Structure 1
Amino acid sequence: MTRPGPGTHPRHGLDEVIHAPVRFSVMAALAAADKAEFAFVRDTVEVSDSVLSRQVATLEKAGYVAVTKGYVGKRPRTWLALTADGRATFAAHCDALRAIAGGDVAGG
């Protein structure tokens, strides 16, 4: 039996930043839209404001999520959007998960 060389398993395509369940869920919610309001993402992912804020800060620091603040009327609002790098990283992460689930140990 031939074993794959180092670094060929699809798990090497996983991104440690977005692999955490809440961050992965945030990325998935944002992947479906150009941008989303903070409250919508919070409710979709089913977390508190503080939990979402911490996870978004991590994703923003990694360059995966852009945060925009503004107003709707007199009410402050925060919108979240995936950056181009965030979209590409999320797509690659999902490809790696599919390869692992499908047993594609050669990575492609």
Structure 2
Amino acid sequence: MINIQLLNKDFESRVRLGIMSILMVRDWVEFKELKELLDITDGNLASHAGALEKNQYLQVRKEFVGKKPRTTYAVTQLGRKSFQDHLAALEKLLGQP
């Protein structure tokens, strides 16, 4: 029996899936680089990253480099575990006959 309930609704968006996929293999990634890698707008990235941060899947570091603001993101332990569980559920779903 296929249990679709095991999939994490927080990762259903392609943007959130992309953010998490990048952060799973990189320690800290700057806002600008994430935006370019995902080919999305500032507002789109900010919205999805904010939702992931709200659910404690991301940690955000804001600082100034000279006079320019710099925002970087990293996945939290909860985010890593939740995303791994989501991927495992996807693999199980795809493995069903």
Runs of 4+, deviation exceeding 4 Å: none
Could you list the runs of 5+ residues in structure 2 that have no partner in the other structure? Answer: none
In structure 1, distance between residues paired with 2:59 and 2:49: 9
Equivalent of residue 19 in structure 1, options 12, 26, 29: 12
Could you list the runs of 5+ residues in structure 1 that have no partner in the other structure? Answer: none
Query: Which 10-residue stretch deviates more, 15-24 or 84-93?
Result: 15-24
TM-fit CA distance, 1:10: 4.0
Helix, strand or coil: the match of 1:79? strand
Deviations 1:48-93 (A, max 9, x none): 0010000011101111011110123332100011110000001110
1:46 maps to: 39
1:62 maps to: 55
In structure 1, distance between residues paired with 2:6 and 2:24: 18
Report the count of equivalent residues. 97
- More helix by percentage: 2
2:90 maps to: 97
Seq. identity, %:
32
Deviations 1:6-43 (A, max 9, x none): xxx34222110112111111111111111111111111
Choose 1 or 2 for highest CA Rg: 1
Aligned-partner residue type, residue 34 of structure 1 = D
Helix, strand or coil: the match of 1:99? helix
Aligned-partner residue type, residue 63 of structure 1 = Q
Equivalent of residue 74 in structure 1, options 64, 67, 71: 67
In structure 1, distance between residues paired with 2:29 and 2:3: 30
